[in-house]
Amino acid sequence: MRWWATAAVLALLVGLAAPATAATSCRDVTVPVQLDVVLPAQVHGRLCEPPSGSDHVQLLVHGATYDSRYWDEPVGDGRFSYVRRALADGWATLAIDRIGYGQSTRVPSILLTASTQAITVHQVIAELRRSFDKVVLVGHSVGSAVALIETSLYNDADALALTALTHRLSPVGLASALAEDVRPVTVDPSPLAKEYDPGYLTTVSGHRAKLFYGPHPDPEMLAYDEATKGVVSATEMADAIAVGFTLPTSRAITVPVYLVDGGVDTLFCSRFAGGNCSAGSSLAAQERLYFAHARSFTAAVLPGAGHDLNFEPRAAAYEDALNAWADTNA
């Protein structure tokens, strides 16, 4: 990115400077948004640029019970950092905390829906457009539902990448998760119980491996994940399931779309009425109808991977493929 563009980002995304690594420059930023006409809020994010700068950026939207750290976890010397792979490919990244999570504005759970989140993401994209020539919107899980809804409304990013999503959410996997793996945060023994209202949910201690990982989770990554677990609004989950995962909302999308799922994702790729994630071709055949008006549609599967693709031992394979797709489709 040119020096004046960097200055513009700093002026538009008011934030606190953070120490840069030897290879990259990263800083905390905040973007003023409106949840509606009377409720202002701030979206916190982490903006990173490659050493030579960039005029194109990926806007990264996390999933349920995570925040912006999902994209750049400080574990394993960067092995679980999608941000590092994107930077190495020449992309700038802005990983945001959705409203209600991380360091973004906290609001009552009832005010949060995936559609409301989509409106705030639209405002972030508008700010990025002032300084970057290309914007690729990338989501994970509920963040993918938010990104899908946002793009169906506005088609304002140059391309859309969705991870950990199909239109065949497994009823068995969902029922099991709701019955056994999540609970209201106010009954959780963690410090989160004092920070959020009963409409927020979190995972039961020790259940994240079952929910989010493949059969061979990295012990260090899993321990860190359990120690830093977050929350999700129940109303946002309901909206994401209905509008993002079930209804054909995505048929309004016209930009290029890349979809990637883990082959053993129990929530979206279960053999019990879930998506067919046996291969990229099978997933594409099943999902293409939902993206019939996209300029192009590509589907891929990471074999043996669970829901949290970034935390898989072979995550680099999907990350490099996604970035290569972005290079040619944005």
- Indicate if the pLDDT at residue 306 is higher than 60: yes
Residue predicted with more confidence, 234 or 175: 234
Phi, psi of 310 (to 5 degrees): -65, -20
pLDDT (average), residues 53-61: 96
CATH 3.40.50.1220 fits 3-168+236-329, yes or no: no
For residue 261, give Cα distances in angstroms to 103, 115, 199, 276, 292: 28, 23, 29, 10, 19
Dump pLDDT digits (tens) for 225-237: 999 999 999 999 9
Contact call for residues 302 and 216 (beta carbons, < 8 A): no
pLDDT (average), residues 21-48: 88
Tokens linked to 35 = 């949840």
Q: Specify the pLDDT at position 37.
A: 76
pLDDT tier at 75, thresholds 50, 70, 90: very high
- What one-character-per-residue DSSP string does 115-135 give? HHHHHHHHHHHHHHHTT-SEE
Residue predicted with more confidence, 100 or 2: 100
Tokens linked to 311 = 């935390």
242, burial (CB in 10 Å: exposed 0-12, middle 13-18, buried 19+): middle
- What one-character-per-residue DSSP string does 20-55 give? --SS-EEEEEEEEEEEETTEEEEEEEEEEE-TT--S
pLDDT tier at 16, thresholds 50, 70, 90: very low
- Indicate if the pLDDT at residue 5 is higher than 50: no
For residue 263, give Cα distances in angstroms to 12, 214, 216, 217, 272: 40, 9, 13, 14, 14
For residue 227, give every residue at least 6 positions away whose Cβ sits within 8 Å of its Cβ, in sequence order, or none. none
pLDDT tier at 14, thresholds 50, 70, 90: very low
- Indicate if the pLDDT at residue 4 is higher than 90: no
Residue predicted with more confidence, 77 or 99: 99
- Indicate if the pLDDT at residue 3 is higher than 60: no
Provide the edge-to-edge strand list for the sheet that holds 92-96.
25-36, 39-49, 92-96, 56-61, 134-140, 159-163, 257-262, 297-302
Q: Specify the pLDDT at position 9.
A: 36
Q: Specify the pLDDT at position 23.
A: 60
Q: What is the mean pLDDT of the chain?
A: 91
- Indicate if the pLDDT at residue 102 is higher than 90: yes
pLDDT tier at 6, thresholds 50, 70, 90: very low
Q: Specify the pLDDT at position 119.
A: 96
Dump pLDDT digits (tens) for 253-299: 999 999 999 999 999 997 777 899 999 999 999 999 999 999 999 99
